[in-house]
């Protein structure tokens, strides 16, 4: 079964079980400062899990493009990917564990032909916060699974969430297929990393709300959230050992072989470089080509994009690729996915221009790094051991983007070595500081459904409209980051705003607040919203229902919420900073006083 077949079978199955197909959302989360990218299918649905009414109803299904970049430097083995597609189905206060487990079982057995005798499942074993998930155990037994293939595991294995410090969470049940490999030890069970058990699906039962004091209260509206990865599942269904052996990667591998003269399967080093190039170019193409796509930069999402591209370019050089090459595999990615994600084809030339510009910049970076190395060399050679300290190599890497491997090559030419342990320690310290920064960010976002966060979200609508009035209709939202202390709003605009423009935008927003405009919501189709002139990035499927929020006669915008009921409750709007976010994108930080 190929990826296209799996997507269609999954959606058709859940539509036949009274689910509405909804559009997948942008890779760049809206109003959520907890993560840089959309990491799972449930991510855009958090407001509805928290109680917002979804315009499509209580049973939903879709395919969501996702990115996880926590371990970029580990990607390159046979299984890990930074970009992937997640199949999902949701119950928002409708069915619960029994129906979810039954549907999962029927899909695996009847639709994609899994041998149920090879199916094992895991469930939450219980602890002081919540009891053992005996309900799920009972439902699996009703379907014929014996006790010997039902495993009780702790919270670290079978519990999801919350996304932040507080919020919805609950036990899950995970499904595994026995690959037929021998057990690696007597303790080998589903979840073991040896490869005997292949995780195919996860059903999360969100039935608790974690409180600030660490306690868990039952959710008023228990929900079901499931996830099945397209790439991993077709790998298993096709009997392949690696996702890189499937149709999603073979054309990319063949293109890299053609460009470089290298052969996949020759050596592990060659294979690693080819896999890294394929994965990173695929992910980068989706980031740039996203409806809210970003460009390479030194902060946030743009920094991740830059890291991906430069790592791919560096591995291209290891394969002997000296000329610019990354737009060629990107062209294949676009052709492979243009039917599923038409925005890629629409932005094809833009994607190429961004990729080629970044290759040029990286060439200059390498030249700069070599110059810095030459400046440092006289002092470095004073060390009788002829070892370059790890912190120096890390500075070249972190400050100048100069790869460690190239520092080692230059050192070797001078009869020197690099203290790799010292580099690794400096890198780990850097990652820990970055993690601490991310943890601080983790306090806000969609998981924070506080009154102030709701007010700030509402204020972004007024700001968006005011920017269009002052700067022009070319202004479109490119991203939003909300906490209970402030809002951050990214928008398309080529120039720095003048002091007068900032004042005019502030005045328009505050006038809308002073006018105490009522905020109302209507559910309608995408086409109806377009006809009304509602602001939105219309990537939804034809005929799909969306929510349109109206703020008096000032603002009309498609949005999922949450919102307050009257603009008069917002207070005073003040822009604190206006700055560049990336090429052609400006950023405003503002507060409500």
User: Which sequence spans correspond to the domains of the chain?
Assistant: 3-244, 256-368, 381-443, 451-592
Binding site as annotated, residues: 457, 461, 559, 563
Residue 475 near residue 493 (C-beta atoms within 8 A): yes
Residue corresponding to tokens 């008023």: 220
pTM assigned to the model: 0.82
**Residue 518 — φ and ψ, nearest 5°?**
-70, 145
Alpha helices (runs of H) in 381-487, residue ranges in sequence order: 390-400, 404-413, 420-441, 451-471
Closest CA to 493 of 417, 412, 582: 582
Residue corresponding to tokens 């990729």: 355
Give the number of other Cβ atoms within 10 Å of residue 564's Cβ. 15
Residue 84 near residue 66 (C-beta atoms within 8 A): yes
Q: What is the pLDDT of residue 297?
A: 84
- Give the CATH architecture of domain 3-244: 2-Layer Sandwich (3.30)
Closest CA to 537 of 583, 475, 587, 592: 475
Kindly state the greatest CA–CA separation across the chain: 76
CA dist 558 and 548 (Å) reads 4
Q: What is the pLDDT of residue 442?
A: 37
Tokens of 315: 């591995």
296: three-class secondary structure by DSSP? coil
In Å, what is the CA distance from 415 to each residue of 33, 387, 388, 403, 412?
Answer: 47, 9, 11, 19, 5
CA dist 434 and 177 (Å) reads 36
Closest CA to 282 of 246, 236, 237: 246
State which residues of the chain have pLDDT below 50: 437-447
Residue corresponding to tokens 């005996």: 134
CA dist 390 and 559 (Å) reads 49
Tokens of 66: 């996702």
Alpha helices (runs of H) in 290-418, residue ranges in sequence order: 300-318, 327-337, 342-346, 348-380, 390-400, 404-413
The burial of 388, by beta-carbon neighbours within 10 Å (0-12 exposed, 13-18 middle, 19 or more buried), is given as: buried
In Å, what is the CA distance from 133 to each residue of 92, 113, 126, 158, 391?
Answer: 20, 27, 7, 10, 49
451-592 has which fold? Answer: 3.30.980
Binding site as annotated, residues for Zn(2+): 457, 461, 559, 563
């Amino acid at each position: 079964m190929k990826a296209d077949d799996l997507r269609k079978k999954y959606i058709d199955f859940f539509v036949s079980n009274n689910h509405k197909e909804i559009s997948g959302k942008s890779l760049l989360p809206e109003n959520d400062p907890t993560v840089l990218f959309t990491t799972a299918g449930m991510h855009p649905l958090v407001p509805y899990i928290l109680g917002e009414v979804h315009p499509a109803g209580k049973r939903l299904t879709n395919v969501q493009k996702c990115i996880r970049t926590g371990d970029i430097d580990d990607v390159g083995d046979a299984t890990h990917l930074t970009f992937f597609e997640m199949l999902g189905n949701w119950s928002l206060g409708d069915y619960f564990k029994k129906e979810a487990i039954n549907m999962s079982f029927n899909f695996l057995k009847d639709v994609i032909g899994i041998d149920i005798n090879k199916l094992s499942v895991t469930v939450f074993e219980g602890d002081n916060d919540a009891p053992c998930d005996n309900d799920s155990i009972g439902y699996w037994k009703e379907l014929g699974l014996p006790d010997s293939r039902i495993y009780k595991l702790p919270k670290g294995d079978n519990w999801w969430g919350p996304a932040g410090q507080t919020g919805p969470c609950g036990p899950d049940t995970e499904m595994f297929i026995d690959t037929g490999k021998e057990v690696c030890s007597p303790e080998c069970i589903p979840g073991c990393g040896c490869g005997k058990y292949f995780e195919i699906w996860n059903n999360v039962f969100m039935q608790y709300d974690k409180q600030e004091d660490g306690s868990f209260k039952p959710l008023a509206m228990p929900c079901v959230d499931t996830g099945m990865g397209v790439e991993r599942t077709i790998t298993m269904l096709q009997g392949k050992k690696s996702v890189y052996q499937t149709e999603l990667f073979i054309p990319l591998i063949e293109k890299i072989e053609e460009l470089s003269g290298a052969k996949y399967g020759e050596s592990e080093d060659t294979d690693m470089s080819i896999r890294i190039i394929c994965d990173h170019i695929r992910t980068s193409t989706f980031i740039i080509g996203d409806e809210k796509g970003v460009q390479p930069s030194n902060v946030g999402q743009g920094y991740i994009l830059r890291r991906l591209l430069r790592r791919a370019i560096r591995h291209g050089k290891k394969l002997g690729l000296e000329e610019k090459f990354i737009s060629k595999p990107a062209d294949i990615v676009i052709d492979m996915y243009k039917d599923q994600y038409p925005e890629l084809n629409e932005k094809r030339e833009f994607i190429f221009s961004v990729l080629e510009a970044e290759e040029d910049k990286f060439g200059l970076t390498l030249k700069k790094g070599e110059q810095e190395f030459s400046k440092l060399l006289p002092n470095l050679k004073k060390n009788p051991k002829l070892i370059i300290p790890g912190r120096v190599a890390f500075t070249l890497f972190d400050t100048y983007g100069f790869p460690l491997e190239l520092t080692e090559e230059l050192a070797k030419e001078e009869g020197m070595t690099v203290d790799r342990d010292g580099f690794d320690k400096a890198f780990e310290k850097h990652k820990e500081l970055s993690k601490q920064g991310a943890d601080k960010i983790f306090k806000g976002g969609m998981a924070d459904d506080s009154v102030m966060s709701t007010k700030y979200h509402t204020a972004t609508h007024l700001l968006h409209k005011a920017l269009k009035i002052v700067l022009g209709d070319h202004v479109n939202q490119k991203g939003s980051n909300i906490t209970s202390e402030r809002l951050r709003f990214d928008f398309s605009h080529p120039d720095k705003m003048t002091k007068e423009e900032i004042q005019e935008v502030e005045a328009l927003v505050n006038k809308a607040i002073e006018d105490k405009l009522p905020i109302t919501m209507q559910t309608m189709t995408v086409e109806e919203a377009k006809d009304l002139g509602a602001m939105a990035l219309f990537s939804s499927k034809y005929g799909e229902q969306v929510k349109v929020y109206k703020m008096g006669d000032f603002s009309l915008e498609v949005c999922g919420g949450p919102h307050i009921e009257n603009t008069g409750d917002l207070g005073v709007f003040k822009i604190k900073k206006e700055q560049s976010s990336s090429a052609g994108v400006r950023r405003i930080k503002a507060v409500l006083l």
